[in-house]
């Protein structure tokens, strides 16, 4: 079979920038078209990854000759920091670094230190976190913490070594990811989360073992429904295991109690391990489910995503973004940059997950529904 070549970057065109209303005050409280406030910025620092997970970067597409972005197209650390400062002035309080695999970006600790120095208009530090596949975490955890990273999320799709090697498709052992998580704990990173993408027929038998392994360790485990992100992963609805069924499996093994959302716009539904009286035993921790396929949470989505080459996406399922790089590298002042970002956010109408159920059958994966790849803007 011949290799598929899908130049996901070259085929895209940027959206036209909305007009700027310079008379509006640049305050954090500027809702989008559905009344949602901007609070969370995801920044992709590289489009490269050393894993080839089938649901994100399948090997037959992202092969050794795949045309990744040249270094000159990537935003520099200084450009990322300047852009992040503009978002913070508009209300962002949390920044997550993603990829690809963000730890592949050379000197990522320098960027973390620059972002850690940013402050909100009230002088408060940001919630600064990073998502990684954990392959390089054992050797980098200490430097990440020292640079100012506060929290970390590790993607791990199973404890069984054969299952994990099959899913990462580069024969990477699960033991090294577990060592990375231990190193992150030893370095003092707190609020560590592990994300498991559940794909029916592939790793669903890992749900209970994963919960049993992380219960009581201080690590929060979250199960994510296999999503129709991008155009290369061959997504099918029959491979989605609904989060409700994940919770059913867990409750058959552990007493669980529903917990309140930890913050506005939180994507995960939280469940705590219960004690003998049926109350949450915080010492045993919690699990979460992210149900973006079966239970859309567009209504309070407060996230924007900045690609590694400076394209701004307002939805994980978007097909086009706004070209901020040309603005950043142009002659715009910081104030003008904030005004343009504010105008983009105010014009936002995205709610793909809510509309998915109304789409015709198979439209989610049809050529007409091209979407940006997860590896390009992160999850």
**pLDDT tier for residue 80 given thresholds of 50, 70 and 90:** very high
All domains in the chain, ordered by first residue? 40-377 (3.20.20.70)
pLDDT tens by residue, 301-358: 899 999 999 999 998 878 889 999 999 999 999 999 999 999 999 999 877 665 665 5
Q: DSSP H helical segments within 188-269, as ranges?
A: 207-214, 243-251
Are 135 and 180 contacting, i.e. CB atoms less than 8 angstroms apart? yes
Closest by CA position to 195, among listed 231, 227, 151, 154: 154
d(CA 136, CA 46): 15
pTM beyond 0.85: the answer is yes
pLDDT tens by residue, 141-198: 999 999 999 999 999 999 999 999 999 999 999 999 999 999 999 999 999 999 999 9
∠ CA 231-352-338, nearest 5°, is 100
- State what percent of residues in the chain have pLDDT above 70: 85
Least confident of 229-233, 260-264, 273-277: 229-233
Q: What average pLDDT score do residues 85-110 get?
A: 96
Are 205 and 247 contacting, i.e. CB atoms less than 8 angstroms apart? no
Closest by CA position to 34, among listed 260, 320, 297, 262: 297
d(CA 36, CA 89): 16
Are 45 and 306 contacting, i.e. CB atoms less than 8 angstroms apart? no
Between 126 and 263, residue with greater pLDDT: 126
**pLDDT tier for residue 242 given thresholds of 50, 70 and 90:** very high
Q: What average pLDDT score do residues 215-240 get?
A: 80
Are 103 and 46 contacting, i.e. CB atoms less than 8 angstroms apart? no
Closest by CA position to 89, among listed 115, 52, 113, 119: 119
């Amino acid at each position: 079979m011949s290799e598929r070549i899908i130049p996901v970057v070259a085929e895209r065109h940027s959206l036209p920038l909305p007009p700027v209303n310079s008379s509006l005050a640049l305050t954090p409280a500027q809702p989008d078209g559905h009344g949602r406030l901007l609070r969370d910025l995801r920044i992709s620092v590289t489009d490269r990854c050393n894993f080839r997970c089938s649901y994100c970067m399948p090997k037959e597409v992202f092969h050794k000759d795949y045309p990744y972005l040249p270094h000159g197209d990537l935003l520099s650390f200084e450009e990322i920091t300047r852009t992040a400062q503009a978002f913070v002035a508009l209300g962002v309080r949390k920044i997550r670094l993603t990829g690809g695999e963000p730890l592949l970006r050379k000197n990522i600790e320098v960027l973390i230190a620059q972002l850690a120095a940013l402050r909100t208009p009230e002088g408060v530090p940001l919630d600064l976190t990073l998502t990684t596949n954990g392959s390089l975490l054992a050797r980098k955890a200490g430097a990440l913490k020292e640079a100012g990273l506060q929290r970390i999320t590790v993607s791990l799709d199973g404890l069984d070594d054969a299952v994990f090697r099959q899913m990462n498709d580069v024969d990477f052992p699960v033991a090294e990811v577990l060592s990375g998580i231990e190193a992150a704990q030893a370095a003092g990173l707190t609020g560590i989360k592990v994300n498991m993408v559940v794909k029916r027929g592939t790793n669903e038998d890992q749900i209970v073992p994963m919960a049993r392994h992380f219960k009581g360790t201080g690590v929060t485990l979250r199960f994510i429904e296999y999503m129709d992100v991008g155009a290369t992963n061959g997504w099918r609805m029959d491979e989605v295991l609904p989060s409700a069924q994940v919770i059913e499996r867990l409750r058959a093994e552990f007493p669980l109690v529903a917990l309140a959302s930890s913050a506005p716009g939180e994507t995960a539904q939280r469940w705590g391990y219960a004690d003998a009286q049926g109350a949450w035993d915080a010492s045993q921790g919690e699990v979460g489910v992210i149900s973006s396929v079966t239970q859309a949470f567009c209504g309070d989505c407060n996230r924007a995503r900045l690609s590694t080459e400076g394209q701004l996406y307002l939805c994980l399922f978007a097909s086009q973004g706004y070209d901020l790089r040309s603005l950043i590298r142009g002659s715009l002042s910081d104030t003008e940059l904030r005004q343009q970002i504010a105008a983009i956010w105010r014009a936002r109408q995205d709610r793909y997950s809510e509309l998915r159920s109304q789409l015709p059958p198979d439209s989610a994966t049809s050529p007409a529904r091209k979407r940006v790849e997860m590896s390009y803007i992160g999850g």
